[in-house]
Chain A
Amino acid sequence: MLKVLVVDDSIMMRNNVKTYVQNAGHTVIGEAESGLLSLDICRETKPDLITMDITMPDMDGLEAIEKIREFNKEVTILVVTSHGQEEVIMRSLKVGAQGYILKPITQENFDEALNSIYKNLESPKEDEYLLDE
Chain B
Amino acid sequence: MNSVQMMNFDDAKVKEFICNETSEFALGIIDIESSEVIYRNSAMQKIMHKKDAKKCWESIYGLDAVCSWCQLKHKDDMTQQSLDSSSDKEEFEYEYFSEMTSRWYQVQNRVTVLNSKKILIMIALDISRQKKAQGDLISTQFRLAKQTQELQKAQDELKVLASTDSMTKLYNRRYFMEVSDSLLLLAKREARAISLMMLDIDKFKNINDIYGHKIGDEVIIKLSQLLQENSRKSDIVCRWGGEEFIILLPNTEIEGATTIAQKIREVVDSLSIPIKEEEAIHFSVSIGVSQFDSNSEINLEATINRADEALYEAKNSGRNRVCVAPYL
Contacts and interface: CB of A to CB of B under 8 A. Distances in A.
**Most A C-beta atoms less than 10 A away, residue of B102, B128, B142:** B142
B232 interface: no
Contact of A102 (B102, B134, B149): B134
Interface in B78-100: 96-97, 99-100
**Most A C-beta atoms less than 10 A away, residue of B99, B100, B103, B145:** B99
Given A92-B142, A93-B146, A93-B149, A102 B135 contact: yes
B141 interface: yes
By size class, the interface of chain B is 20 to 34
Interface in B161-214: none
A2 interface: no
B305 interface: no
Contacts of B272: none
Interface string B122-153: 00000010010011101101110110010000
**Most B C-beta atoms less than 10 A away, residue of A12, A16, A93, A113:** A93
Contacts of B96: 82
Interface in A61-108: 82, 84, 86, 89-90, 92-93, 98-104
Q: At the interface, is chain B mostly helix, strand, loop or mixed?
A: helix
Contacts of B128: 104
A109 B102 CA distance: 14
A102 B145 contact: no
A12 B134 CA distance: 23
B142 A10 contact: no
Interface string A1-17: 00000000010110010
B102 A84 contact: no
Interface residues of A, number: 24
A100 B142 contact: yes
A89 B142 contact: yes
A127 interface: no
A90 B144 CA distance: 11
A109 B97 contact: no
Given A55-B71, A104-B128, A84 B99 contact: no
Contact of B138 (A12, A84, A98, A104): A84
B145 A109 contact: no
B245 interface: no
Interface of B: 66, 71, 96-97, 99-100, 102-104, 128, 131, 134-136, 138-139, 141-143, 145-146, 149
20 contacts: A10-B71, A13-B99, A82-B71, A84-B131, A84-B138, A89-B141, A89-B142, A92-B142, A93-B142, A93-B146, A98-B146, A100-B139, A101-B135, A102-B131, A102-B134, A103-B97, A103-B99, A109-B139, A116-B139, A116-B143
Interface of A: 10, 12-13, 16, 55, 57, 82, 84, 86, 89-90, 92-93, 98-104, 109, 112-113, 116
